[in-house]
Amino acid sequence: MDMGQHVTVAIIGTGFSGLCMAIKLKEAGIDDFVLLERAGAIGGTWRDNTYPGCACDVPSHLYSLSFEPSARWSRVYAQQPEIRSYLERCFDKYAVRPHVRFHTKVVGAAFEDDRWRIRIEGGHEITADVLVAGAGGLSNPAYPKLRGRERFRGEQFHSATWNHDYDLTGKRVAVIGTGASAIQFIPEIQPKVGKLTLFQRTAPWVLRRPDRAFHPAEKFLFEKVPAIRWLYRQKIYWQHEWRAFGFTIYPPMLKVAARMGKAHIRRSIKNPELRKKVTPAFTPGCKRILMSNDYYQSLDQPNVDVLTNGIAEVKEHSIVTDDGREIPVDAIIYGTGFAVHEYIGPVDIRGRNGIDLATAWKDGAEAYLGTTISGFPNLFILTGPNTGLGHNSMVYMIESQVHYVMECIKLMRERSLSFVDVREDLQKKYNESLQNRLKGSVWSTGCASWYLNENGKNTTLWPSFTFAFRARTRRFEPADYELGQKGLHLVKGKPKPQERAANKLNGRANPA
Ligand code: NAP
């Protein structure tokens, strides 16, 4: 399909969100869609993050599509290459690949004449009745604002854009950040590098990861007896789900996690000073609880220094700490996370009457059910505001959202709707109640995290159980939306006489 064409649905991104959306569209008989992918390959997060040790900290039997289980997972917590090949397999099995437009970076989208006019980098345009943003919040690397960073003459890269051509062997390496990514790659690079200086701003809670390889007999059973695989998935789901109780209803329960975290430190680190440095000073869960069996051990090695100082400046070949120490380094690796609060990325989105999303979200991103935004008809955001989780699988949330979007698209077809726009009052009420719920959660216990925006508002996390989100997204309620009934873009059948008349009135062609 050439650019400049019109499609029923345009999807941004080819990660789990884009894939799931595409499969469900096909299932509903809608084949007229494209996936717009800025890179040259599919996979989103699981294509970009290739740092050593990259894995998912949710077991793969749960962190996968419910309708496409796999008996092949080699271990409980699959590594990045395995998750990426799972996605590749799904793209092929469901014949989604022909719908993907590679090297197609969306730079803007405007809702005009009941359709989205989508601008692609390089000047192309495409129009779509429905726009689904599946780019995720963790796709644009965030770099710290450090004085002199651009002056540095050594090698520097982000965990999400790992330079595999750079040999770290024997090098003096500085790592900035101690989040989920850093704690995975540090144990991998520590034995190789000459000297590792870790800049830790906040010590995270790290628990043991109950990882192991599956025995061939287990894989055989998963393959041959689907009921066992299903039960296993249910077990993992509920093991994770109960944590929402501690996170959202009764944070004191998380003292158990604190005890486990401290025991993990005692067991793994001999150096008493280091033990003190890495002991967190906030309630577990306020920032994401991390999982690793070798992170602490790797810090307790002679070639590692953990610094809790801030960075004053970066020089050509060194980093200067805020207490004046100059540390010579050959490479800097940023484990500093992502520009989370953008959601659709730095894309200029204009809704009805030209309102732009950046203005609509100036006090923080918000949506209805994390999916639709008032004033931005026919736009759906997967993993949108307040759909993130600290306790369970995001794939479960994505499937809930995709179901909701499909219910809406089906209704649009049935009723010949040209647009759906969520009611502003409803979106406001929904978000007030959501923010009220968040007040009692662990995320409001005083730590600074990327869950909160610069005004301290939590715009990222779902404040309840994931099954509660699924219940709310099970039905698309037309009364929650302003419905436009002017056009026939989504109608496949013959239009009714009044629809013909409406089309004529609006200058649209009637099908023969
Ligand atoms: P992150 O959790 O945002 O961690 C960023 C780290 O960089 C934090 O330790 C932060 O310190 C530090 N940092 C940021 N700016 C800094 C500065 N100016 N100076 C010093 N330190 C600075 O990022 P991430 O580790 O890439 O993980 C992001 C998210 O990706 C995770 O929360 C998770 O949702 C996902 N992820 C998941 C997995 C998985 O296994 N499923 C693996 C990797 C990532 P502070 O804590 O003080 O802010």
Q: Is 229 in the pocket of ligand 1 (CB under 6 A)?
A: no
pLDDT-derived band at 488, boundaries 50, 70, 90: very low
Q: Is 166 inside a domain boundary?
A: yes
Which residue, 306, 334, 362, sits at the end of a domain? Answer: 334
- CATH code of the domain in which 196 resides: 3.50.50.60
Q: Is 278 in the pocket of ligand 1 (CB under 6 A)?
A: no
Burial class (CB in 10 A: 0-12, 13-18, 19+), 357: buried
Q: Is 237 inside a domain boundary?
A: yes
Which residue, 264, 299, 334, sits at the end of a domain? Answer: 334
> Could you tell me the distance, in angstroms and rounded to a whole number, from the CA of residue 174 to the centre of ligand 1?
16
Residues 28 and 161 in one domain: no
Residues 264 and 354 in one domain: no
Atom of ligand 1 nearest to the CA of 58: 41
Residues 258 and 320 in one domain: yes
Range of the domain at 405: 6-140+339-476
Q: Is 379 inside a domain boundary?
A: yes
**β-pairing verdict for 318-321 and 326-328:** antiparallel
Give the chain's domain count.
3
Q: Is 125 inside a domain boundary?
A: yes
Q: Is 138 in the pocket of ligand 1 (CB under 6 A)?
A: yes
Q: Is 202 in the pocket of ligand 1 (CB under 6 A)?
A: yes
Q: Is 174 in the pocket of ligand 1 (CB under 6 A)?
A: no
Q: Is 177 in the pocket of ligand 1 (CB under 6 A)?
A: yes
> Could you tell me the distance, in angstroms and rounded to a whole number, from the CA of residue 409 to the centre of ligand 1?
36
Query: What pLDDT is recorded for position 414?
Result: 93
Residues 484 and 468 in one domain: no
Testing ligand 1's pocket by substitution, the residue of 49, 75, 159, 178 carrying the most ligand atoms inside 8 A of its CB is 178
Q: Is 275 inside a domain boundary?
A: yes
Residues 344 and 446 in one domain: yes
Beta carbons of 177 and 334 less than 8 angstroms apart: yes
Q: Model pTM? A: 0.93
Residues 90 and 176 in one domain: no
Residues 320 and 402 in one domain: no
Mean pLDDT (the chain) is: 93
Q: Is 20 inside a domain boundary?
A: yes
Residues 456 and 316 in one domain: no
Query: What pLDDT is recorded for position 502?
Result: 47
The residue whose C-alpha atom lies closest to atom 23 belonging to ligand 1 is 337
Residues 252 and 348 in one domain: no
Residues 312 and 186 in one domain: yes
Residues 49 and 70 in one domain: yes
Q: Is 1 inside a domain boundary?
A: no
CA distance 349 to 358: 8
The 3-state secondary structure of 399-459 reads HHHHHHHHHHHHHHHHCCCCEEEECHHHHHHHHHHHHHHHHCCHHHCCCCCCCECCCCCEC
Q: Is 413 in the pocket of ligand 1 (CB under 6 A)?
A: no
pLDDT digits (tens, 9 = 90+) for 121-137: 999 999 999 999 999 88
**3-state class percentages of the chain: helix first, strand second, coil last, to nearest 5:** 35, 20, 45
Q: Is 315 inside a domain boundary?
A: yes
> Could you tell me the distance, in angstroms and rounded to a whole number, from the CA of residue 327 to the centre of ligand 1?
23
Q: Is 51 in the pocket of ligand 1 (CB under 6 A)?
A: no
Q: H-type helices in 194-286, by residue range?
A: 216-224, 226-241, 243-244, 255-268, 272-277
Query: What pLDDT is recorded for position 223?
Result: 97
The residue whose C-alpha atom lies closest to atom 4 belonging to ligand 1 is 179
Q: Longest C-alpha distance within the chain, in Å?
A: 81
Q: Is the pLDDT of residue 473 over 60?
A: yes
pLDDT-derived band at 167, boundaries 50, 70, 90: very high
Residues 324 and 413 in one domain: no
Which residue, 294, 311, 334, sits at the end of a domain? Answer: 334
> Could you tell me the distance, in angstroms and rounded to a whole number, from the CA of residue 381 to the centre of ligand 1?
23
Testing ligand 1's pocket by substitution, the residue of 75, 79, 138 carrying the most ligand atoms inside 8 A of its CB is 138
